[in-house]
Amino acid sequence: GSVLFLGGNEVKSSAVVKYSSAPPQAAFARLQEKTDLKLPPANWLRESAKLGPAGTTILGNNKKSKPFSSFGMAYDFIDSVGNDVDVVSDSENIKKLLKIPYSKSHVSMAVHRIGRTLLLDELDIQELFMRSSQTGDWTWLKEFYQRLIDQKWQRKKKSKEHWYQKAILSKFLYYSINGDGAAQPVPSTSKQHQEGPVSGESDEAGRASWPAPFEMPSSLSEDPGASNQGSVPLEPSYIVGHVASAPKEQNLTTLFNDGENSQGLKNDFVRNILWTFEDIHMLVGSNMPIFGGGRYPAVSLRLRDNNKPINVLTGIDYWLDNLICNVPELVMCFHVNGIVQKYEMIKTEDIPNLENSNFSTKVIKDIAQNILSFLKSNCTKEGHTYWLFKASGSDIVKLYDLTTLCEETEDKYQNPFTMPVAILLYKVACNMMLKKNQNKKHYGTIRTLLLNCLKLLDNGRHPQIIASANYMLSELFQLDEPKKEDSTDFPINGNSDESYSEEEEEMPDSDENGSYSNSSDPPDDNKAVAVIKSVGELSVPEKYKSVHRIRPSCAFPVCHGTEERCRLVLNYVLEGLKCVDSSVKKEGDLPAADPSTPIPLKYEDESTSGGPECLEKQMALFLDKMGSFQKGKHSSQSGMIPGSWQYKMKLQLILKSSKAYYVLSDAAMILQKYGRALRYIKLALQCHDTYCCLCASMLPEVLVFLCQCLTLCGDIQLMLAQNANNRAAYLEEYNYQTKEDQEILHSLHRESRCQVFAWATDLSTDLECQLSVSCKCYEAAYEILLFSNLKNQNPEQRIQVLKRMGNIRNEIGVFYMNQAAAVQTERVGNKNVSTTEQQLWKKSFSCFEEGIQNFESIDDATNAALLLCNTGRLMRICAQAHCATEGDFKREFSPEEALYYNKAIDYYLKALRSLGKRDVHPAVWDSVNWELSTTYFTMATLQQDYAPLSRKAQEQIEKEVSEAMMKSLKYCDVDTVSARQPLCQYRAATIHHRLASMYHSCLRNQVGDEHLRKQHRVLADLHYSKAVRLFQLLKDAPCEFLRVQLERVAFAEFQMASQNSTAGKLKTLFGALDIMAKTKGAFQLIRKELVAESEQISKDKSSAETVSPNDSSTGLNKEEVLKLLSIFESRMSFLLFQSIKLLTSTKKKIGGINEEEVVLKTNKQVYSLLLRATANKSMTLLERIEVILNLLEQLTQNNEAVNGGIQ
């Protein structure tokens, strides 16, 4: 639990025990007065759970923490490192730092920065140099130390008094847990035990705790026993994406020569405590024995010599120990020459006020804050080992960067901290990656940790960590994200306290923080990174502020665009692959997998129904079908052992590169760089080839991804087919390759050269081939979804694939259909349909059919309707192919034509049924209606123009034509405003015109009885008037309008011939003249177009360009106009002549003598003008039209009078 202590000067402190190996607190035994502590108790030096390591090590080196003790803690509490904890250290080191201003003794500590956390460890220079003289390591530091700090370096021996005090304390603690105060007899060896080992043990313990500089063992022994020796294996690897990434690190014990407790990398403190002192958060290791039995739940027990008063240093020691361990009371046992005198109890908060030892807790707080700020400001480079040093009796504290010093002199691996620091950086990064809820703002920090980790490692020595770190770096870049997030996700500047630029040089300290130029310093001391000129400064509140004068570099690099992001990913993947490849030597050199250890392959996921064996078989069959895959050959050519870390890591890296290439391909596709897109998807599928060869069973996610790759490949092949005109440019893009891509391919080919998907990525020049490859890609993708049972888990993917399959089958169907149409047009003179054509129809038809099934299976009514519509078009092409073209005999509409047109109609009706109603997709609905209308119209027209009289009666044919025309009208929508509206209006007008002509023709041919002829007359009149109304709406069909009006005049003439009364004849005549007058609008349109054309010609002449009149922008057919004009003139002349004749001969008044005379006069006048005009052969077309317009104008003025007069 956490208790808040408020010392006399209001200092905040709280402690939470994160881990404790101590048993429940036992009450301490109060020793009787006069107990002789010089006599050993019976249980002395036996291992005791109550004392933990404290009892046995007090004789040895309880004050001496192991050189890597903070790393052991950091490994155990990886969550705290780099983030919310400021300091990780042994409590002894923290006490030593906080006592600097009060103590004369020397301080020597190694400082490492991980993120915003500092790790502090004792750096025992004397131990180090003892080792150096034996092994020759660290000589550079020894020379540096002698030159700079202590010229006459020699090992200081511990005094006899020192060992005497230690022995008494040890015995006192054993008596306190023993329970009875009497001294018990001890084994006779006790004397040697007391004297002998005591002095030696310290040396041994110290020596064993120092590691040799890192060297790779000649062979990695993966001895299962090694793991019991306190090694720290990496956490079960961090798993991101699809498969386990960094597998368990080979036991770190084997990474060090000295197996002794993995050289202190083990966290062997009795307690790990999260101690918050003011605003400083520390993870502290403590071995202080804690007892029950006082007035409080916990007390600490101390032994004091009554003759020596307690001093400030001891007071601070006791106070800090109790604060760190949350102990509210201190029990002191006083002795004289080893004889117990009395006990005294002191509350923790009273310790600072003891006689002879009072100190200000506020000052201790200031010292803590100053030291932390000093270290944070100056230990800025992650992965560097800093050395904080204060010589004995000196007031100056110096900070050196040992990594830089070491690199200046020797190999960086001479620094024994290199490996633990690298592993810690790696583990912290792993831990941050694992947190699924991590905001992306941490990506910058993770990246910095990993890059710094990589700087410390050597490829030959630590391939596994390097490969893992590179893989994690590649994982930081989210490949499947929209680009716009780049700028928002990663802050440009991170929290200034998180991580620092490794590149930028530090600026010298300002004077306030101690300066470099200190005249009293030896001249050589420019080696120090920073200096505290006097320890007294540490007591000044906020003397050292944590000012970071360095640009933080934990900002994540902002990638401009997908391409750059993928290239970064591939760069890291390549580094990882190189690492794996270089570590895979010949098979003989590799350690055999331990048969007793199961390989935790995450790929063997049995969640898929039917078990993995079933899926494996299916996959093998699928691959066999796809390409040159050697069955049952899932092995690596390079000799990688399945299940080894190399094997797992390589699979991960291959998959990552495949994803990067996929994203690059997709991006190129969006930019319409189809050659580049094909090259990238080829690389992605080559990665899959290797993956399939290495790994028999695949995770569902990998299969889904393979499915996506094949789908994209199909898309690209389709786009290449549709953009054949750019083929040269695409080929150039396709053949280009970067060095990086070549190196990745080389790494893939080390494992296998099987080319399962090679067929999918060839750049073909043949359109049919491209379309069929595209189709095969989609089919393969769909097959994967089917056999892996993923279609239910990935409905969206299934829909996408089926949609594309339907689409490509439509494309291929249309391709064959167009080929058939081309063959048909080339077929001249030969009326028989060739087998080539029939084959093409069959192919086209089966493609459409499959496509329709695809769309129907995903309820895509719109696309199914479009394919049904295309099938209808195919049927019409078949019908056209069967029309007899020979000129020898009269052509008739054949039964085959009728059959195919009716089939076409069936498909169009099916398409309409598929859609259901127009709202589903108005454009498609309108399109199908139009095609249906066209089919009926074509069929009716052919039947009308090439009547099959040899097979059917005239009446039957007319009936069928009439029905077909009316159906065509039904599906021809003239009212909806759309781009197609004028076409529909024209079609409807034409249908009415044709029907009117047909009924007109029936009348002339005297078909049927009187009743039927009357009906025909009414229908002809009705359809003519509808045709006129529709042609009038159109502004671009003056000729058609004229023709209909002329036919109506002819119809009137035909009626007039059968009339007997003059009045009736006159009425019909005036009706016919009225029809003629109404053609004025058509002639005006024709005039307008002719004028525009002549202007265009004159303009072209002026710009010295001769353009033939046929190139005119207007669509006027002059021959047609001339023909119609001649007919018009002759009919007009005839009608006027007849009217003059009738009006002159008649005696009947037409409503007053004046009116009749006016009409007669006008008609005579118009008639004479018309005769003169037609007689003049030199008039141009335009002039003739002007004359007609003028005459029509005159006629129109009299029309009203006539209409009023003739009843």
Return the sign of the alpha-carbon dihedral for residues 1099, 1105, 1107, 1109. Answer: positive
**What is the token pair recorded at 400?**
């050196």
Q: What is the pLDDT of residue 259?
A: 31
Residue 307 has a CB neighbour count (10 Å cut-off) of 9
Residue in the structure block whose two tokens are 């060869």? 693
Q: In what order do the strands lie in the sheet with 280-286?
A: 5-6, 12-20, 271-277, 280-286, 87-90, 117-122, 107-114, 386-390, 397-401, 528-532
827 versus 440: which is more confidently predicted? 827
How do residues 824-854 score in pLDDT, each as one tens digit? 888 766 667 888 888 999 999 999 999 999 9
Tell me if residue 107 falls in helix, strand or coil: strand
CA distance 689 to 623: 9
400 versus 209: which is more confidently predicted? 400
CA distance 9 to 365: 10
CA distance 73 to 85: 12
Length of the chain as a residue count: 1207
pLDDT at 885 over 90: no
Give the E-state strand segments of 280-322 in sequence order: 280-286, 290-291, 299-305
Q: What is the pLDDT of residue 211?
A: 42
pLDDT at 1111 over 80: no
Q: Which of 275, 244, 249 is nearest to 262 (CA)?
A: 249
Q: Which of 378, 462, 368 is nearest to 418 (CA)?
A: 462
pLDDT at 161 over 90: no
Tell me if residue 788 falls in helix, strand or coil: coil
CA distance 305 to 300: 17
Mean pLDDT of 1164-1179: 82
DSSP 39-63: SPPTTTTS--TTTTHHHHHTTTTTT
Compute φ and ψ for 558, nearest 5 degrees: -85, 115
Distance from chain centroid for Cα 340: 74
Residue type, 80: S
How do residues 740-798 score in pLDDT, each as one tens digit? 999 998 888 888 777 788 888 888 888 899 999 999 999 999 888 887 776 677 788 88
In this structure, are residues 518 and 533 in contact, taking their beta carbons and an 8 Å threshold?
Answer: yes
CA distance 498 to 471: 23
Region of 1152 on the Ramachandran plot (φ > 0 left; ψ -120 to 50 alpha; else beta): left
pLDDT band at 281 (very low <50, low <70, confident <90, very high): very high
> Average per-residue pLDDT in the chain?
76
In this structure, are residues 1066 and 1142 in contact, taking their beta carbons and an 8 Å threshold?
Answer: yes
Q: What is the pLDDT of residue 156?
A: 67
> Virtual CA dihedral for 1132, 1134, 1135, 1139, nearest 10 degrees?
140
Q: What is the pLDDT of residue 176?
A: 83
pLDDT at 7 over 60: no
pLDDT band at 410 (very low <50, low <70, confident <90, very high): low
Q: Which burial class, exposed, middle or buried, applies to 884 when counting CB atoms under 10 A from its CB (0-12, 13-18, 19+)?
A: middle
CA distance 966 to 963: 5
> Exposure pattern of 640-652 as b/e (b: 16+ CB <10 Å)?
bbbbbbbbbbbbb
In this structure, are residues 752 and 689 in contact, taking their beta carbons and an 8 Å threshold?
Answer: yes
DSSP 1137-1176: HHHHHHHHH--S-SSSHHHHHHHHHHHHHHHHHHHHHHH-
**What is the token pair recorded at 867?**
């394919």
Q: What is the pLDDT of residue 922?
A: 87
Q: What is the pLDDT of residue 829?
A: 63
Tell me if residue 1173 falls in helix, strand or coil: helix
Q: What is the pLDDT of residue 157?
A: 73
Compute φ and ψ for 170, nearest 5 degrees: -60, -45
CA distance 431 to 448: 14
Tell me if residue 1045 falls in helix, strand or coil: helix
pLDDT at 424 over 90: no
Name residues whose C-beta falls within 8 Å of residue 822's C-beta, 6 or more positions apart in sequence. Answer: none
pLDDT at 659 over 50: yes
Mean pLDDT of 799-817: 93
Name residues whose C-beta falls within 8 Å of residue 101's C-beta, 6 or more positions apart in sequence. Answer: 367, 535, 536, 538, 539
Tell me if residue 655 falls in helix, strand or coil: helix
DSSP 801-835: HHHHHHHHHHHHHHHHHHHHHHHHHH--S--SPPH
Residue 739 has a CB neighbour count (10 Å cut-off) of 8
**What is the token pair recorded at 957?**
């044919």
Name residues whose C-beta falls within 8 Å of residue 1149's C-beta, 6 or more positions apart in sequence. Answer: 1156
In this structure, are residues 321 and 286 in contact, taking their beta carbons and an 8 Å threshold?
Answer: yes
Q: How far are the Cα atoms of 141, 186, 383, 704, 719 from residue 404, in angstroms, in the given order?
A: 12, 54, 11, 49, 57
Portion of the chain with pLDDT greater than 70, in percent: 75
pLDDT winner (highest mean) among 323-332, 471-480, 699-708: 323-332
In this structure, are residues 784 and 614 in contact, taking their beta carbons and an 8 Å threshold?
Answer: no
Q: What is the pLDDT of residue 1207?
A: 45
CA distance 864 to 809: 12
Range in 207-211, 406-410, 561-565 the model is least confident about:
207-211
CA distance 761 to 1128: 67
pLDDT at 368 over 70: yes
Residue 312 has a CB neighbour count (10 Å cut-off) of 16
Range in 224-228, 714-718, 724-728 the model is least confident about:
224-228
CA distance 729 to 400: 60
How do residues 518-534 score in pLDDT, each as one tens digit? 334 444 466 777 888 77
pLDDT band at 1115 (very low <50, low <70, confident <90, very high): low
Name residues whose C-beta falls within 8 Å of residue 697's C-beta, 6 or more positions apart in sequence. Answer: 603, 604, 605, 612, 615, 616, 619
435 versus 1162: which is more confidently predicted? 1162
Q: How far are the Cα atoms of 277, 1032, 1168 from residue 1195, in angstroms, in the given order?
A: 114, 20, 13
Residue in the structure block whose two tokens are 């190129």? 668
pLDDT band at 5 (very low <50, low <70, confident <90, very high): low
DSSP 621-652: HHHHHHSB--TT----TT-PPTTSHHHHHHHH
Q: Which burial class, exposed, middle or buried, applies to 603 when counting CB atoms under 10 A from its CB (0-12, 13-18, 19+)?
A: middle
Q: What is the pLDDT of residue 178?
A: 66
Q: What is the pLDDT of residue 44?
A: 82
CA distance 475 to 572: 9
Tell me if residue 952 falls in helix, strand or coil: coil
How do residues 588-643 score in pLDDT, each as one tens digit? 344 444 444 443 433 333 333 344 566 677 777 777 777 654 444 556 677 778 78
Q: What is the pLDDT of residue 414?
A: 63
pLDDT at 711 over 90: yes
Residue in the structure block whose two tokens are 């454009």? 923
How do residues 81-99 score in pLDDT, each as one tens digit? 877 899 999 999 999 999 8
How do residues 127-148 score in pLDDT, each as one tens digit? 777 777 777 666 777 777 777 7
Tell me if residue 689 falls in helix, strand or coil: helix
Residue type, 252: L
Compute φ and ψ for 337, nearest 5 degrees: 50, 35
> Exposure pattern of 166-179 as b/e (b: 16+ CB <10 Å)?
bbbbbbbbbbbbbe
Could you tell me which residues are beta bridge partners of residue 530?
399
**What is the token pair recorded at 149?**
């700090």
In this structure, are residues 306 and 76 in contact, taking their beta carbons and an 8 Å threshold?
Answer: no
Q: What is the pLDDT of residue 794?
A: 76
**What is the token pair recorded at 1094?**
């002549």
Q: What is the pLDDT of residue 237?
A: 37
Q: What is the pLDDT of residue 676?
A: 92
Q: Which of 184, 176, 187, 219 is nearest to 50 (CA)?
A: 176
pLDDT band at 556 (very low <50, low <70, confident <90, very high): low
Q: What is the pLDDT of residue 1200?
A: 60
